[in-house]
């Protein structure tokens, strides 16, 4: 095992500065948690007045491959973390010799690329749907012949909220999807006839200690997360297996920080891995109000080298995303709703499809499993 040249920096003392690459809401909520733990944050992102910058002590507005700006950033902070996984490899090459980066290159590299991600799930013992890398239309046709239809064709990099993918239902869809999606290679996945989508979030410290939250059930609308139900309304063995998958992936990635695994539940009760996000995740926002230590607190604790907090859930919760103008229009009702906390991200324009904030509605423990979904939804 190699010696960590930065080991003596940890645990970070109070008032130390954590650098966060990325300016979005995940960095903003991490910075708010860091502030509660007595740390300062310095946000590095290309845009002005991004959500994270508005609540942080310092900011750098520069490109992710700007060497001089990255060197100055590294000198100004005690440790660096990321609020998104698509950080260019070059950024890490520049930063890693100068400042501790948590999580490290391995976690980011695996999660940037769907092909590596799928192979990694398998190596960590998490089954996935049949898949194939495709670099030409001929290969795509061979992959379709092997995997069958329907299937999902995706870009391997930079996809989010359902962007960069197409469902192939019939032979005639193949050519069009191949022409539309870029950059290549692409990945073809068997279409999973899931009964529901789950996610589980694990935090892992540099000492290997792991804290895993209850698995949650996610519902999407127009490919964007709409609702998370915590805990997931699934048999205990399924929930336990989802948590175990998150813990094994975190261990196999040697993660320092938090990650989410997105999973599909099959009609026969098996779980298949879909994606890994090596950072706080939208489906973990419920932990802000329903757990002793939120995913953002855990992330900062791990990055700072503090012991992890307790992930235990003191309430059931439903998280609802506030997306675009429609989401913002719900604010007056949500401000007055019982047992509901509203979290806004400080974004200026409520464009269609843009995540503006979320609300967490708490319920007494064991309410979700006993209440019909329609009734729950009527309370939100
Ligand atoms: N192989 C698949 N089979 C069935 N549905 C899928 C498959 N892959 C993705 N989906 C659906 O599309 C959504 C988005 O896909 P995902 O791979 O998670 O990409 P991203 O979240 O980065 O946009 C998933 O949450 C799921 O609802
Ligand atoms: Mg996803």
Q: Which ligand is nearest to the CA of 260?
A: 2
Ligand 1 centroid to Cα of residue 357, in Å, is: 22
Summarize pLDDT for 137-156 with one digit per residue, the tens.
999 999 999 999 999 999 99
For 9-25, what is each residue's pLDDT tens digit?
Answer: 999 999 999 999 999 99
What is the signed CA dihedral for 296, 49, 325, 224, rounded to 10 degrees?
Answer: -40
**Are 234 and 196 contacting, i.e. CB atoms less than 8 angstroms apart?**
yes
List the single range of 159-163, 207-211, 280-284 with lowest mean pLDDT. Answer: 159-163
Residue nearest to atom 8 of ligand 1 (CA): 152
- pLDDT level of residue 3 (50, 70, 90 thresholds): confident
pLDDT at 159: 80
Domains of the chain are 7-101 (3.40.50.20), 130-190 (3.30.1490.20), 196-379 (3.30.470.20)
Q: Give the whole-number percent of the chain exceeding pLDDT 70.
A: 99
Give me the pLDDT at residue 1, please.
52
Give 269-327 pLDDT, tens digit per residue.
Answer: 999 999 999 999 999 999 999 999 999 999 999 999 999 999 999 999 999 999 999 99
Asked if pLDDT for residue 257 goes beyond 70, the answer is: yes
Give the up-direction half-sphere exposure of residue 103: CA atoms within 13 A in the CB hemisphere: 31
Q: Is 209 within 8 Å of 308 (Cβ atoms)?
A: yes
Distance CA 245, CA 70 (A): 35
Ligand 1 pocket, residues with Cβ under 6 angstroms? 129, 152, 159-162, 189, 191-192, 197, 220, 223, 262, 274-275
Summarised one tens digit per residue, pLDDT across range 226-251 is: 999 999 999 999 999 999 999 999 99
Is position 159 annotated in a ligand binding site? Answer: yes
Q: Is 163 labelled as part of a ligand binding site?
A: yes
Q: How far is the CA of 189 from the centre of ligand 1 (A)?
A: 10
Phi, psi of 197 (to 5 degrees): -105, 135
Are the C-beta atoms of 251 and 210 separated by less than 8 Å?
yes
Confidence of residue 161 (pLDDT cuts 50, 70, 90): confident
**Two tokens, residue 259:** 């990650």
């Amino acid at each position: 095992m190699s010696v960590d040249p930065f080991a003596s920096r940890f645990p970070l003392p109070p008032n130390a500065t954590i650098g966060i690459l990325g300016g979005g809401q995940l960095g903003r909520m991490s910075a708010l948690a860091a502030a509660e733990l007595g740390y300062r944050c310095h946000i590095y992102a290309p845009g002005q007045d991004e959500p994270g910058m508005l609540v942080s002590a310092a900011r750098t507005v520069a490109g992710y491959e700007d060497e001089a700006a990255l060197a100055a950033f590294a000198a100004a902070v005690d440790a660096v973390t990321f609020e998104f996984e698509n950080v260019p490899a070059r950024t890490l090459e520049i930063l890693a010799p100068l400042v501790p980066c948590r999580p490290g290159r391995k976690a980011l590299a695996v999660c940037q690329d769907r092909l590596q991600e799928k192979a990694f799930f398998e190596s960590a013992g998490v089954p996935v749907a049949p898949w194939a890398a495709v670099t030409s239309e001929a290969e795509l046709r061979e992959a379709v012949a092997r995997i069958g239809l329907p299937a999902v064709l995706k870009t391997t990099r930079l996809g989010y909220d359902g962007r960069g993918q197409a469902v192939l239902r019939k032979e005639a869809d193949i050519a069009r999807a191949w022409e539309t999606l870029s950059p290549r290679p692409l990945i073809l996945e068997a279409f999973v006839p899931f009964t529901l989508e789950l996610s589980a979030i694990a935090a892992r410290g540099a000492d290997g200690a792991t804290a895993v939250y209850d698995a949650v059930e996610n519902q999407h609308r127009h490919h964007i997360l709409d609702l998370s139900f915590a805990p997931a309304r699934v048999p205990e063995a399924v929930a336990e297996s989802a948590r175990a998958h998150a813990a094994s992936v975190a261990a196999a990635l040697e993660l320092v920080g938090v990650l989410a695994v997105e999973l599909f539940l099959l009609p026969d009760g098996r779980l298949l891995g879909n994606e890994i996000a090596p950072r706080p995740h939208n489906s973990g926002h419920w932990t802000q109000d329903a757990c002793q230590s939120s995913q953002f607190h855990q992330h900062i604790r791990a990055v700072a080298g503090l012991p992890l907090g307790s992930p235990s859930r003191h309430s059931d919760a439903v998280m609802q995303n506030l997306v675009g103008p429609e989401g913002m229009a719900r604010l007056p009702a949500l401000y007055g709703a019982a047992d509901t906390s509203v979290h806004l991200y400080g974004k200026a324009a409520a464009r269609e499809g843009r995540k503006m904030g979320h609300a967490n509605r708490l319920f007494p423990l064991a309410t979700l499993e006993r209440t019909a979904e329609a009734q729950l939804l009527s309370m939100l």
